[in-house]
């Protein structure tokens, strides 16, 4: 390993000892940037790698709210602005009991390269809370969001930092958050947050964007090998926003999706999942996956089981980080899987990725494959700034073009620094090169 890279990794490790998931991401990304060191001497001269690994700013705050029984509850809120070198801080908010500073920092770090890959002017950020929206009434969620925004509003703005959704934060939460922001600042500043409902300032296709983009990316990877999606079978983990719209687009393009999951188990539907039924259950009724109607005889809900043991040509991890380990990867490959495309952020453990590479399985890294969400967020900001709303078909066409561009750029840099199918090296180097050029331009 190049001595500068080794020294930087050592310093990053010692400075972040309490942040294992962030270190996992840094340990996965930094070594793939090694081939850039020869071509860009300023990376070492200006110590750009170490600067890249240190967040520009982090906020940690108390969020106090009242539940329906009038008990006072206390949660933690986070917002990490990792890099504003390519544009204002931009990235989602996650509400889930597992949220910690470590998780938010890892997500924020990944977001820098993802946002860079879109080619748009977006810095990298992430935030959230350990609040668990599950089982909470609408009013409880509203009071939590209002309290969360009461602190967050000081740190955000359409030129400063623009949040959006992530796990546990959908259009409902975005509405409550925006409503409180508007109240506090006395401005109808639509561009301060994305993922808004298309009925009041949101963009068409934002809800569908991440999942649709994941499928466009998989399609582009297959096309580059002279293959296509049609007629294939797939498993998709998760049953939230990203999983739902991955399933929808896969079905539209002729793929049979035989399984999806939640944190408690998986649904196996050998004849194919019915998207309309699933959407009604998950998005409209906010029900559990175990309540999916088992109308056809061979459909079953498998408590405690993931989707990775089922035979399928394609796998789409769309739930959460580190959800797919080496044993899962071995099962998938033994059952004939040839492509893994990530809807979630860092869903595959490093050993699983190594195994896929050894086996020649095509791998679409999340920061490239799931960039459709943030890309359409940027289109939402553009529409807000122009006081416009573009038609659904137009936004979808732009999304598909952006994903194709990201794919081609990853492939080009992968060919240059590794081999054409090494999308991981391609995505990391393509994302980092833009960051390097802007950092150099701005001085220190």
- Interface residues with ligand 2IT (CB under 6 A) are 90-92, 114, 164, 166, 194, 345, 373-374, 377
Question: What HEC string does 267-315 produce?
Answer: EECCCCCCHHHHHHHHHHCCCCHHHCCCCCCCCEEEECCCCCCCCCCEE
Angle of helix 423-442 relative to helix 101-117, nearest 10 degrees, comes to 90
Measured at the alpha carbon of residue 126, what is the angle toward residues 322 and 78, in degrees to the nearest 5? Answer: 100
Closest CA to 132 of 140, 124, 121: 140
What 8-state DSSP symbol labels residue 87?
A: S
| 122 interacts with ligand NDP by CB under 6 A | no
Where does this chain touch ligand NDP (CB under 6 A) — which range of 220-228, 260-268, 392-400, 415-423? 260-268
CB 200, min distance to ligand 2IT, A:
17
| 328 interacts with ligand NDP by CB under 6 A | no
Residue whose CB is less far from ligand NDP, 52 or 106: 106
182 is catalytic: no
Task: Choose the catalytic residue: 126, 196, 249, 282.
Answer: 126
What 8-state DSSP symbol labels residue 166?
A: B
Residue 213 binds which entry of ligand 2IT, ligand NDP, none, CB below 5-8 Å type-dependent: none
Residue whose C-beta lies closest to ligand NDP: 240
In the window 234-253, what residues touch ligand NDP (CB under 6 A)? 238-243
Measured at the alpha carbon of residue 28, what is the angle toward residues 26 and 33, in degrees to the nearest 5? Answer: 85
The correct pick among 55, 163, 364, 373 for binding ligand NDP (CB under 6 A) is: 373
Helix (H, G, I), strand (E, B) or coil at 95: strand
Residue whose CB is less far from ligand NDP, 264 or 280: 264
| 64 interacts with ligand NDP by CB under 6 A | no
In angstroms, rounded to a whole number, what is the distance separating the alpha carbons of residues 55 and 183?
A: 30
CB 443, min distance to ligand NDP, A:
32
CB 91, min distance to ligand 2IT, A:
5
Find the length of the chain. Answer: 444
Name, in order, each residue with C-beta under 8 angstroms of 346's C-beta and a sequence gap of 6 or more: 21, 24, 25, 28, 106, 110, 321, 322, 366
State the DSSP string of 42-107.
HHHHTTHHHHHTS-SEEEEEEEEEE-TTS-EEEEEEEEEEEE-SSSSEEEEEEE-TT--HHHHHHH
The correct pick among 81, 91, 343, 426 for binding ligand NDP (CB under 6 A) is: 343
Residue 233 binds which entry of ligand NDP, ligand 2IT, none, CB below 5-8 Å type-dependent: none
| 280 interacts with ligand NDP by CB under 6 A | no
CB 308, min distance to ligand NDP, A:
12
The correct pick among 168, 202, 364, 365 for binding ligand NDP (CB under 6 A) is: 168
Name, in order, each residue with C-beta under 8 angstroms of 357's C-beta and a sequence gap of 6 or more: 363, 422
The residue count for binding ligand NDP (CB under 6 A) is 23
Residue whose CB is less far from ligand NDP, 11 or 288: 288
Residue whose CB is less far from ligand NDP, 140 or 439: 140
Strands 89-95 and 124-129: parallel
Helix (H, G, I), strand (E, B) or coil at 148: helix
Residue 91 binds which entry of ligand NDP, ligand 2IT, none, CB below 5-8 Å type-dependent: ligand 2IT
Greatest Cα-to-Cα distance within the chain, rounded to the nearest angstrom: 65
Identify whether the C-beta of residue 385 lies closer than 8 Å to the C-beta of residue 198: no
CB 348, min distance to ligand NDP, A:
12
CB 105, min distance to ligand 2IT, A:
14
CB 37, min distance to ligand NDP, A:
30
Active site residues: 126
Residues lying near ligand NDP in the complex (CB under 6 A) are found at: 165-168, 210, 238-243, 262-264, 318-320, 323, 343-345, 370, 373
């Amino acid at each position: 390993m190049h001595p500068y890279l080794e020294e930087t990794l050592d310093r990053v490790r010692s400075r972040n000892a309490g942040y294992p998931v962030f270190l996992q991401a840094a340990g996965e990304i930094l070594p793939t940037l090694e081939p850039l060191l020869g071509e860009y001497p300023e990376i070492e001269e200006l110590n750009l790698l170490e600067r890249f690994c240190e967040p520009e700013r982090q906020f940690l705050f108390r969020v106090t709210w009242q539940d329906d029984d009038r008990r006072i509850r206390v949660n933690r809120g986070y917002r990490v602005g990792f890099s504003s070198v390519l544009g204002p801080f931009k990235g989602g908010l996650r509400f889930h009991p597992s949220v910690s500073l470590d998780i938010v920092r890892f997500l924020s770090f990944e977001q820098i390269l993802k946002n860079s890959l879109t080619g748009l002017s977006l810095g990298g950020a992430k935030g959230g809370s350990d609040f668990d929206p599950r089982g909470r009434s609408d009013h409880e969620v509203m009071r939590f969001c209002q309290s969360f925004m009461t602190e967050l509003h000081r740190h955000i703005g359409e030129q400063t930092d623009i949040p959006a959704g992530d796990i546990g934060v959908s259009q409902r939460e975005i509405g409550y958050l925006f409503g409180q922001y508007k109240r506090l600042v006395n401005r109808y500043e639509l561009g301060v947050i994305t993922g808004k409902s298309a009925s009041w300032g949101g963009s068409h296709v934002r809800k569908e964007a991440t999942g649709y983009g994941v499928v466009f990316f998989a399609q582009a990877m297959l096309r580059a090998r002279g293959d296509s999606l049609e007629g294939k079978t797939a498993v998709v983990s998760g049953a939230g926003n990203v999983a739902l719209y991955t399933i929808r687009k896969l079905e539209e393009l002729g793929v049979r999706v035989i399984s999806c999951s939640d944190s408690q188990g998986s649904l196996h539907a050998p004849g194919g999942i019915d998207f309309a039924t699933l959407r009604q259950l998950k998005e409209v009724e906010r029900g559990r996956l175990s309540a999916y109607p088992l109308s056809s005889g061979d459909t079953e809900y498998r408590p405690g089981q993931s989707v990775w043991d089922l035979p399928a040509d394609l796998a789409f991890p769309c739930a959460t980080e580190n959800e797919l380990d080496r044993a899962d990867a071995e099962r998938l490959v033994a059952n004939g899987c040839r492509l893994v495309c990530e809807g979630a952020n860092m869903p595959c453990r490093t050993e699983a990725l190594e195994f896929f590479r050894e086996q020649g399985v095509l791998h679409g890294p999340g920061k490239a494959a799931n960039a459709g969400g943030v890309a359409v967020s940027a289109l939402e900001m553009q529409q807000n700034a122009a006081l416009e709303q573009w038609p659904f078909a137009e936004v979808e066409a732009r999304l598909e073009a952006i994903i194709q561009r990201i794919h081609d750029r990853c492939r080009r840099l992968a060919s240059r620094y590794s081999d054409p199918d090494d999308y991981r090296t391609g995505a990391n180097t393509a994302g980092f090169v833009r960051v390097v050029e802007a950092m150099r331009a701005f001085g220190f």
